[in-house]
Amino acid sequence: MKFTDQKQEHTSSYYAATVNDVTDYPTLEGTVSADVCVVGGGFTGVSTALSLVERGYSVALVEANRIGWGASGRNGGQVINGISGLEKIRKKHGDGIADMLWDLKWRGNDIIYDRVKKYGIQCDLKGGFLEVAVKPKQLSYLDEYVEERVTHNFPYKYEIWDRQETCDRLGTNSFHGGFICYRDGHVHSLNLCIGEARAAHGLGVKIFEQSPVVDIEHGARPKVRTANGVVEADSVVLAGNAYSQFEPKHLSNLVFPAGSYIIGTEPLSEDVVNEINPLDVAVCDLNEVVDYFRLSADKRLLYGGACNYSGRDPASIKSYILPRMLKVYPQLKDVRIDFEWGGKIGIVLNRIPAVGRINGNVYYCQGYSGHGVAATHIMGEVMAEAIAGTMEKFDLFADMNHFRIPGSQWIGNQIIALGMLYYKLMDRI
């Protein structure tokens, strides 16, 4: 198996422009020995490394570009409970695991809040995530959210907003109601990822940037090779997500990259902020193909959505996203757009992360289907537990069957794009 990639710096996003700390870890040179080698410096890789070093393991992390270079440092910054596909796991394994899945669903939020406090990570973490109904028929989902929280004696604040309250608090008539949970929230995702990497490095994790992996040699003690070095380890964790091209025999055509795009306005006036989002909450609609938005710490509106499943990027991200923002907020028509950026998220057909291991000691976890900030932290802990010998949660995911689309990745993306066209049409009904 061979893989090469050009070394790249961060994309020109709002996050990269406002990052607290520019990382400059060394490239991998020579031979390094560790208990575990993690390949990938996004949330999955960094969270796994931090979870492992907290348990006493020696860890080396190898990143092709910079920490948080991929989706982890470019996303909408929404901290949302859960992992996609949990209901399918419950149906396969029965109601006996329902309580465990409920606890697992919130574990990512717990990890993020705990680490931000424990390690003093400055990342603008704020509680408050609002899901809004674009159509009246979506209001039933909001009642279901309440029912499940009542069933589990949920200890954190949540509310249902009717149409008028939603319109008043968001300064738009686009929505029919909303459900807000204050344990969910939003964050400067790149600062969070870099902060966790700094915490891991401070505990002894060896981090190497600008070090694309070119080969992985399997064996009792696998070797992870870059152009100028090698990491020898007892276990390897592949955490590349949408950008990973490793182990094609086992992983090809399981995860497909889809384009996700965001624009960022100039800082908004206090009057405008008080009109469109005085509570400073993250917002996401309930469509299958979602739009989402929130305010940054310096009061820019960050607006994303219209995920592209075909594999083709739009000629202009601003032209692609701006009409969607103005449909919700026509009053912002004269506001300057300062940022436009995109990236790839990993889509899995059944929406369950692709989890497993190869030859007993090469683990992989990828494919969060656009719900990754909290989910990656959950899975980082699950991967660490598996390496430590506790396989219960790992096996729940590894035992799920995944359909692999035959042919090239391009063909797979076109099939997925056709499938999502159906959902786009349904969103309009």
pLDDT tens track for 6-17:
688 999 999 999
Quick one: pLDDT band at residue 352, thresholds 50, 70, 90?
confident
pLDDT exceeds 60 at position 184: yes
Q: What is the mean pLDDT of residues 141-149?
A: 96
Please compute the mean of the pLDDT values over residues 378-389 and round it to a whole number: 97
pLDDT at 405: 60
Q: Give the confidence band of 278 by pLDDT, cuts at 50, 70, 90.
A: very high
Report the percentage of the chain scoring pLDDT > 70.
88
Q: Tell me, what's the pLDDT at 306?
A: 72
Banded model confidence at residue 240, pLDDT cuts 50, 70, 90:
confident
Looking at per-residue pLDDT, the higher value among 35 and 315 belongs to 35
CATH topology of domain 14-75+190-256+349-421: FAD/NAD(P)-binding domain (3.50.50)
pLDDT of residue 407: 52
> Does pLDDT of 406 surpass 80?
no
Would you tell me the crossing angle of helices 189-202 and 98-118 to the nearest 10 degrees?
80
Q: Helix crossing, 43-54 with 373-387: angle to 10°?
A: 40
Residue 248 above 80 pLDDT? no
pLDDT of residue 171: 97
At CA 424, angle to CA 423 and CA 426, rounded to 5? 60
Which range has the worst mean pLDDT, 225-239, 277-291, 394-408? 394-408
Q: Is the pLDDT of residue 43 over 50?
A: yes
Mean pLDDT throughout 111-133? 98
**Residue 372: predicted pLDDT:** 85
Topology of domain 124-186+257-346, per CATH?
D-Amino Acid Oxidase; Chain A, domain 2 (3.30.9)
- Mean pLDDT for all residues in the chain: 90
Domain boundary assignment for the chain: 14-75+190-256+349-421, 124-186+257-346
Higher-pLDDT residue of 191 and 240 is 191
Examine the pLDDT at 48 and tell me if it is beyond 90. Answer: yes
Per-residue pLDDT tens digits for 51-60: 999 999 999 9
Please say if the pLDDT value at position 324 is more than 80: yes
Exposed/middle/buried for 266, CB within 10 Å: 0-12, 13-18, 19+? middle
pTM listed for this prediction: 0.92
List C-alpha distances in Å: 228 to 3, 225, 236, 363: 14, 8, 19, 24
pLDDT over 80 (residue 385): yes
Q: How far apart are CA 33 and CA 12, in angstroms?
A: 35
pLDDT digits (tens, 9 = 90+) for 64-110: 999 999 999 999 999 999 998 899 999 999 999 999 999 999 999 99
Q: pLDDT band for position 288 (50/70/90)?
A: confident
Looking at this protein, which amino acid is placed at residue 45?
A: G
Can you give the pLDDT at residue 344? 82
What does the pLDDT read at residue 347? Answer: 76
Return the pLDDT at 401. 77
Q: How far apart are CA 384 and CA 387, in angstroms?
A: 5
**Can you give the length of the chain in residues?**
429
